[in-house]
Amino acid sequence: MIQTPYPVEILTAAQMARADSLTIAEGVSGMSLMEKAADAVARAANQFLQKSSGRRVLVLCGPGNNGGDGYVAARLLRSPRIKVRVASLTPRDELHGDALAAASAWDGPVEPTETASFQGVDLVIDALFGAGLSRDIQGPAAELIQRLNKWRRESGQNVIAVDTPSGVDGSTGAVRGVAVEADATVTFFRLKSGHLLLPGRVHCGQIVCAHIGIRSRVLKDIAPNTFVNAPGYWLDSLPLPRIEGHKYVRGHAAVMSGGPSHTGAARLAAQAALRAGAGLVTLASPSAAMAINAGALTSVMIREADGAAGLTALLADPRLNAVALGPGLGVGPATRAQVEAALAPATNKRSCVLDADALTSFQHDPQSLWGLIGAAPGPVVLTPHAGEFARLFGAKEEPPAEAPVSKLERARAAARESGAIVLYKGPDTVVAAPDGRATILIEASPWLATAGSGDTLTGIIAGLLAQGMEPLTAASCGAWMHARAAAIFGPGLIADDIAATLPQVWRELTPAPT
């Protein structure tokens, strides 16, 4: 059974500071948190040193508590075998609070970072800036980080970042001027969104989340609404077939096909909906494409449906409880009319997934799509890639450096604006709901960058919605299953392989029979 190594909640830097202060208010000292944080860093460092048989560590300390963690880690790591040097950006007499106490407890020499040499170093601990990073890094700190990154690339030695790679914004994942490239990042209590969003994620390397004595109960006050998209978030609501069930209990999904020369995308989606567990899947095909579609389908059923009127007639059957459209439909008024038909009021609570051309067809008038979504009989999931997202929600100009707007916040704003669940694709796929809840995908496979893989995702989500899964969890679970299938299949993956690999994903998620 698959395990996620991280707790499910994700915090912003401000929420983490609140978790620290609530804990300190309960009587735990800041110094005790710092000792435990540094202990986790030292343990990670020891693991790296054991693997590389290295003995010489350089700890780079900044002006705040991140630097304080560095001083404590230096003290914990030092031993007859392991030689530790400390270099600081700031003179000791400019430190305050716990950082000053930590620096005072280090009785070794402290070098200025400007002249600190990397010669002969086996491992660097980056304790320059963490949650307190508040502006772009410039001047001597920027030069140091550039020197560190160059040394790492040229020497092949490792860097461990404390809390966040210095220069990565912990909440947005943005690089503030320049950022450390780490092999591992040791963070505390809960992941921050900047660990999972690009480009921050790439700077982090392997991520360790350590327990430092902050109790989970502080989360009641903080009420986080961002979650790691991994089984821990949705496993309890994963739809499983029941012994007394039958196929209609598992839902009936419909996928709209494009015309005779554009049928493959919808078939990929339909096949994926079936593999995701929908009891029945019907491909709604224009009459001109019936022969082509029928010749290529076996377990997916087929019904003739021309244009919006054909779709309306098909959806009159209330057992059709999920519909997917967009892949291969073409951009224009005909597709807009089909979206209108799919979202038209109905007696059943029919869910809808809109992707690709169904989204682009509304690029000049997204408000009319929001109107249709508002009146729709059930939940609506939009699955834009970056281009489609920009077309629908506006290509926001480069945010000012003081306030970078993250992909997470842009997805959240889009969900609020549209009234739909918005799945914003990419290696750091974000799924956001209009009520503010959001997930960030932790599983990513670059093999997914292949034609038709998005069509398959549309189908998987439709299949999960057909089984009655709540839409934020269906979209999140769909994105995870899609990425997991790609990770299992690996090199050479084409879109057809994703649905074919879903049974293995299901096996990982399903308890073994006892």
Ligand X SMILES: NC(=O)C1=CN([C@@H]2O[C@H](COP(=O)(O)OP(=O)(O)OC[C@H]3O[C@@H](n4cnc5c(N)ncnc54)[C@H](O)[C@@H]3O)[C@@H](O)[C@H]2O)[C@@H](O)CC1
Ligand Y SMILES: Nc1ncnc2c1ncn2[C@@H]1O[C@H](COP(=O)(O)OP(=O)(O)O)[C@@H](O)[C@H]1O
Q: Is 428 annotated as a binding residue?
A: yes
> Does the footprint of ligand X cover residue 144 (CB under 6 A)?
no
Q: Which one among 48, 57, 58, 69 touches ligand X, defined by CB under 6 A?
A: 69
CA distance 349 to 346: 7
Q: Which one among 12, 57, 58, 64 touches ligand X, defined by CB under 6 A?
A: 64
Q: For residue 169, report the phi and psi dihedrals to the nearest 5 degrees.
A: -75, 120
> How many H-runs (helices) and E-runs (strands) does the chain carry?
20, 19
The DSSP element (H or E) to which 83 belongs, if any, is strand 83-88
Query: Which region, judged by CB under 6 A, interacts with ligand X, from 30-38, 111-119, 358-366, 409-417?
Result: 30-38
CA distance 59 to 71: 8
Indicate which of K ion, ligand X, ligand Y, none lies near residue 92 (CB less than 5 to 8 Å, by partner kind): none
Q: Cα–chain-centroid distance for residue 235?
A: 17
CA distance 476 to 456: 14
Q: Is 427 annotated as a binding residue?
A: yes
Residues in the interface with ligand X (CB under 6 A) total 27
Q: Is 261 annotated as a binding residue?
A: no
> Does the footprint of ligand Y cover residue 357 (CB under 6 A)?
no
Indicate which of ligand Y, ligand X, K ion, none lies near residue 166 (CB less than 5 to 8 Å, by partner kind): K ion
Beta strands 9-11 and 226-229, pairing class = antiparallel
> Does the footprint of ligand Y cover residue 78 (CB under 6 A)?
no
DSSP code, position 39: H
- Sequence-distant (≥ 6) Cβ neighbours of residue 404 within 8 angstroms: 169, 172, 174
Contact 382, 421 (CB under 8 A): yes
Q: Is 357 annotated as a binding residue?
A: no
Q: Which one among 19, 161, 324, 358 touches K ion, defined by CB under 5 A?
A: 161
> Does the footprint of ligand X cover residue 231 (CB under 6 A)?
no
Instruction: Report the amino acid identity of residue 199.
Output: P
Query: Which region, judged by CB under 6 A, interacts with ligand X, from 127-135, 151-159, 373-381, 467-475?
Result: 127-135
- For residue 178, give the 3-state DSSP assignment: coil
Tokens of 224: 């986080």
Residue from 7, 437, 480, 403 nearest 238 by CA: 480
Q: For residue 503, report the phi and psi dihedrals to the nearest 5 degrees.
A: -55, -35
> Does the footprint of ligand X cover residue 81 (CB under 6 A)?
no
Indicate which of K ion, ligand X, ligand Y, none lies near residue 444 (CB less than 5 to 8 Å, by partner kind): ligand Y
- Sequence-distant (≥ 6) Cβ neighbours of residue 317 within 8 angstroms: 252
Paired strand residues for 57: 84, 123
Q: Is 262 annotated as a binding residue?
A: no
> Does the footprint of ligand X cover residue 37 (CB under 6 A)?
yes
Query: Which region, judged by CB under 6 A, interacts with ligand Y, from 93-101, 169-177, 297-305, 426-434?
Result: 426-434
Q: For residue 160, report the phi and psi dihedrals to the nearest 5 degrees.
A: -110, 125
Q: Is 454 annotated as a binding residue?
A: yes
Contact 182, 204 (CB under 8 A): yes
Beta strands 56-61 and 158-162, pairing class = unpaired
Q: Is 283 annotated as a binding residue?
A: no
Least spacing, CB of residue 474 vs ligand Y, in Å:
15
Q: Is 496 annotated as a binding residue?
A: no
Query: Which region, judged by CB under 6 A, interacts with ligand X, from 61-69, 304-312, 440-448, 458-466?
Result: 61-69
Q: Which one among 137, 308, 420, 448 touches ligand Y, defined by CB under 6 A?
A: 448
> Does the footprint of K ion cover residue 181 (CB under 5 A)?
no
Indicate which of ligand X, ligand Y, K ion, none lies near residue 132 (CB less than 5 to 8 Å, by partner kind): ligand X
Indicate which of ligand Y, ligand X, K ion, none lies near residue 161 (CB less than 5 to 8 Å, by partner kind): K ion
Contact 421, 380 (CB under 8 A): yes
Contact 471, 415 (CB under 8 A): no
> Does the footprint of ligand Y cover residue 173 (CB under 6 A)?
no
Tokens of 18: 């609140």
> Does the footprint of ligand Y cover residue 452 (CB under 6 A)?
yes
List of residues contacting K ion (CB under 5 A): 126, 130, 161-162, 166
Binding-site members for AMP are: 425-429, 454
List of residues contacting ligand X (CB under 6 A): 20, 30, 33-34, 37, 62-69, 129-137, 141, 162-163, 188, 212
List of residues contacting ligand Y (CB under 6 A): 356, 385, 425-427, 429, 444-446, 448-449, 451-455, 457, 482
Binding-site members for K(+) are: 66, 126, 166
